[in-house]
Amino acid sequence: MLNLLNQATAPTWDDPIEMLYACHGKVKKFCGQLHLLPDYIAQHGCNAAAQEAITQISTYFNRAAPLHHADEELDFFPLLSKYCPEAQMVIDELEAQHIDLHKNWDTLHTQLQETLAGVRVAPDMQIIQNFTMAYDEHIPKEEQLFELGKTHIPPNELGEIGKIMAARRVG
């Protein structure tokens, strides 16, 4: 979205598909930080900057990512399936991937917490790669469905699920 001054504005729940895209932007940002973390810690130790990064990454993947997946599974995917039933096979695949993404996060989160506690020097790069590669595969498939949603789902129904998604974050 752009405002009159040509400055980017943040999406709102009035446009839930853009909010889903925005979540993916955050996932990509935090995955990029995860890749940098072991080298950073090797050079600087688990200093305040590393601790803050770990805390922000953990907060996102513990809170926002599960909400994002709920938005998709409870609201967006069923609505897309209603208007674009041929997407169901991909929806089923993505929902199964959500389970694996959460399992991968649980493993990585344990290592991040151990790093904060001084039990481990840094998270294992292979664990980080497993986690981020799964998202690298997952996100493009979802974004294809977001585009289908823009084409097939009536705007008033998108607005309704946007309200539900916003309410999910209040309750």
Is 9 a domain residue?
no
Report the predicted TM-score, pTM, of the whole model to 2 decimal places: 0.92
- Read off the pLDDT of residues 24-54 as tens digits, 9 standing for 90 and up: 999 999 999 999 999 999 999 999 999 999 9
Q: How many domains does the chain have?
A: 1
Is 61 a domain residue?
yes
What was the pLDDT predicted at 6?
57
Is 152 a domain residue?
yes
- Band the pLDDT of 9: cuts 50, 70, 90: confident
- Between the two ends of the chain, the Cα-to-Cα distance in Å is 27
The CB-based long-range contact list for 72-78 (8 Å cut-off, 24+ gap) reads 72/20, 72/98, 72/142, 73/98, 74/164, 75/16, 75/161, 75/164, 75/165, 76/16, 76/17, 76/20, 76/145, 76/149, 76/161, 77/145
Is 41 a domain residue?
yes
Residue 163, domain extent: 16-170
Is 1 a domain residue?
no
Q: Quote the CA–CA distance of 62 and 110 in Å, as a whole number.
A: 12
Can you give the CATH number for the domain in which 102 is found?
1.20.120.520
Is 2 a domain residue?
no
**104's tokens:** 């991968």
Of 108, 103, 121, 147, the residue nearest 30 (C-alpha): 108
- Read off the pLDDT of residues 120-164 as tens digits, 9 standing for 90 and up: 999 999 999 999 999 999 999 999 999 999 999 999 999 999 999
Is 4 a domain residue?
no
Is 92 a domain residue?
yes
